[in-house]
Amino acid sequence: MEMLNSIKKTVGGEGKPTQVATEKKMEATMEAKPVANKIKLGHVHLSGCTGCLVSTADNNLGFIKILDNYADLVYSLTLADVRHVPEMDVALVEGSVCIQDHESVEEIRETREKAKIVVALGSCACYGNITRFSRGGQHNQPQHESFLPIGDLIDVDVYIPGCPPSPELIRNVAVMAYLLLEGDEDQKALAGKYLKPLMDLAKRGTSACFCDLMTEVINQGLCMGCGTCAAACPVRAITHEFGKPQGERDLCIKCGSCYGACPRSFFNFEVIDEFEDISEIIAEALK
Amino acid sequence: MREMTADPYLGKYITCVSARSTDKEILKKAQDGGIATALMVYALEEGIIDGTIVAGEGDRPWEPRPIVAMSREDILKARGTKYSISPQIAWLKEATRSFGLDKVGVTGVCCQMQAVRKAQLYPINMRDVPGKVALTVGLFCMENFPYKSLQTIVEDHAAQSLGSVKKMEITKGKFWVHTERGNVSTVPLKATHKYEQPGCHVCLDYVSSLADISTGSVGSPDGWSTVFIRTKKGNEVWSKAVAAGMFETKPIEDVKPGLELLTKLAKEKIDKNRKTLEERRNFGVNKALRDPYA
């Protein structure tokens, strides 16, 4: 609690000036001196649909705020004219990798070399998702048949699962990555705790399915029938029969959302118990 | 605002009172003090929420079905405890989609409050949900039963027809079944243990610690509820509701059995389930079962 209170006081960019004089002074210097210590953020687009980038942009003014105060977008073919993967603090990688496409394989390898933190953004990058069903045979690269989640080619630090990933989760990870790299000790500690389950998911593996709910939750004696998985599923493949998940596995696109959202996959009390304070900290940072 | 209390078994809260609704119609079929119903009705009428997920009536007698209620009438339909699984959170995202809600209310038990908070902080395919959860009211919960368990307990152990049951209650070491025609049967809780939902045995929350306001029976006399006001949002709504005359309240210190019994039961639940989690670590031979809290 103490720690969270001290963080609340320090996050929030220029903060709330108490005197008008200070406010005017800041306005005057704002253009002359750009915000210091922004992290370098990149968006790397592999075999994805750009929906993950759209989700990022769907943070609306929150995204602009992040770009104003916390991060420079140093690479994003969709939004900027930088042609080659530069050095990045955080690489948001969307899409899986076609291993028969030389350029793609090179790009993911280079991303790992150039980025401090590699984030698998969205379910294609994390788990393969719909590209799990690819098997080649289509014009005009019928040999482009094998797609792997990026974690099968490089080490991935953080997962943001979801198809589409929630804008709010992308925003939280961006803010927390900033705090991790540029914050004081308390902020770093908070960011580390926040990101841990998303790092654990990255360590856990690269495949996902409705079946995760069976093998990792129900089969493990952990399901308590809360219904969250059904809400998270983007294709309504999950219903509840007598309080337990029923999966329509031919509908499932293997995005991993249900297991990720399930409160019996990871439930880190030390973070979630502080939901009120952490929500305020994030809101304050985006004010 | 009063200083926040942080109790290892009762969670964080601003204040705790014994209370009941002043709305006679609500009390007619409420399980206890009508707190969950009255709060959601008040929040709806005041525009604090524009709809809420409640445990409505299902297809079979005493089988709950989660619904998005957007009227006083629909909220009132969810009165009374159904001791079976109602996957409340299944509607959480849909409430912000086809229902078009901006301020969603959620009622449910402890694990369902946990699910809401996780969705708010780690929304995984839960777009729009974090910012649209407006009020959560959590019930105390010791354990829950699959529908077939409930059927077995009521039909075999208590020897009552489910269609005739007016109210069920777990209290004073027994499972009580009250029928419409005035009969009362009890089952010793010991006989019901094997029917509990296994997933409840790893639950470390008794009094819905993550809700804005939590409420339950234990600690207060019959017809009254024990209420914890936990968050800023909860405090704001509760203060307004009390000022508007929605509730009768008594300081919990003046009520028997009060927080002492509640703490005892909370401790029993949490200690027992911590032990279960501990045992899962050595469940096999050099093999563990998974721990969601690790």
At what angle are helices A185-204 and A167-182 packed, to 10 degrees?
130
B218 and B248: one domain?
Answer: yes
Residue B176 lies in a domain: yes
pLDDT score for B3: 80
Domains annotated on chain A, with CATH: 39-207+266-286 (3.40.50.700), 210-261 (3.30.70.20)
Measured distance between the N- and C-terminal CA atoms of chain A, rounded to whole angstroms: 22
In this prediction, what percent of chain A has a pLDDT beyond 90?
87
Q: What are A149-186's pLDDT values in tens digits?
A: 999 999 999 999 999 999 999 999 999 999 999 999 99
Question: Which of B195, B212, B230 is the C-terminal boundary of a domain?
Answer: B195
pLDDT score for A132: 98
B134 and B237: one domain?
Answer: yes
pLDDT greater than 70 at residue A2:
no
Q: Residue range A114-123: average pLDDT? A: 98
Q: Residue range A96-120: average pLDDT? A: 98
Q: Long-range contact list for A273-276, CB < 8 A, 24+ apart?
A: A273/B12, A273/B209, A273/B210, A274/A1, A274/A4, A275/B117, A275/B120, A275/B121, A275/B210, A276/B231, A276/B232
Residue B13 lies in a domain: yes
Report the C-alpha gap between B108 and B13 in whole angstroms. Answer: 18
Q: What are A82-107's pLDDT values in tens digits?
A: 999 999 999 999 999 999 999 999 99
Q: Which residue of A has its CA nearest to B143?
A: A224
Residue B68 lies in a domain: yes
Report the C-alpha gap between A135 and A147 in whole angstroms. Answer: 9
pLDDT score for A7: 75
pLDDT score for A16: 44
CB-CB contact of B293 with A268 (8 Å): yes
In this prediction, what percent of chain A has a pLDDT beyond 70?
88
B207 and B136: one domain?
Answer: yes
CB-CB contact of B115 with A222 (8 Å): no
Residues of chain A found within 8 Å of residue B85, distances taken between Cβ atoms = 224-225, 240, 242-244
B90 to A267: CB separation less than 8 angstroms, yes or no: no
User: Cβ contacts of residue A135 below 8 Å, gap of 6+?
Assistant: A145
B162 and B210: one domain?
Answer: no
Amino acid at A233: C
Q: Which residue of B has its CA nearest to A262?
A: B115
Q: Which residue of B has its CA nearest to A173?
A: B122
pLDDT score for A100: 98
- Minimal CA separation from B166 to chain A, in Å: 22
Residue B260 lies in a domain: yes
Q: How many domains does chain B have?
A: 2
Question: Which of B180, B195, B210 is the C-terminal boundary of a domain?
Answer: B195
B60 and B173: one domain?
Answer: no
Residue B287 lies in a domain: no
Q: Residue range A48-52: average pLDDT? A: 98
- Minimal CA separation from B33 to chain A, in Å: 25
- Minimal CA separation from B254 to chain A, in Å: 29
pLDDT score for A26: 52
B159 and B136: one domain?
Answer: no
Residue B168 lies in a domain: yes
pLDDT score for A223: 98
Residue B36 lies in a domain: yes
How many other C-beta atoms can be found within 10 angstroms of the C-beta atom of residue B98?
Answer: 8
Residues of chain A found within 8 Å of residue B108, distances taken between Cβ atoms = 226
Residues of chain A found within 8 Å of residue B94, distances taken between Cβ atoms = 231
B38 and B120: one domain?
Answer: yes
pLDDT greater than 70 at residue A24:
no
pLDDT score for A135: 98
Which among A163, A225, A230 has CB closest to B197?
Answer: A225
Which among B87, B124, B126 has CB closest to A243?
Answer: B87
Q: What are A228-278's pLDDT values in tens digits?
A: 999 999 999 999 999 999 999 999 999 999 999 999 999 999 999 999 999
Report the predicted TM-score, pTM, of the whole model to 2 decimal places: 0.95
Residue ranges, chain B, pLDDT below 70: 1-2
B45 and B153: one domain?
Answer: no
Residue B157 domain boundaries: 145-195
Question: Which of B178, B195, B212 is the C-terminal boundary of a domain?
Answer: B195
pLDDT score for A11: 63
pLDDT tier at A1, thresholds 50, 70, 90: low
B164 and B210: one domain?
Answer: no
pLDDT score for B195: 98
- Minimal CA separation from B124 to chain A, in Å: 5
Residue B290 lies in a domain: no
pLDDT score for B2: 59
pLDDT score for A25: 52
CB-CB contact of B78 with B58 (8 Å): no
pLDDT score for A10: 62
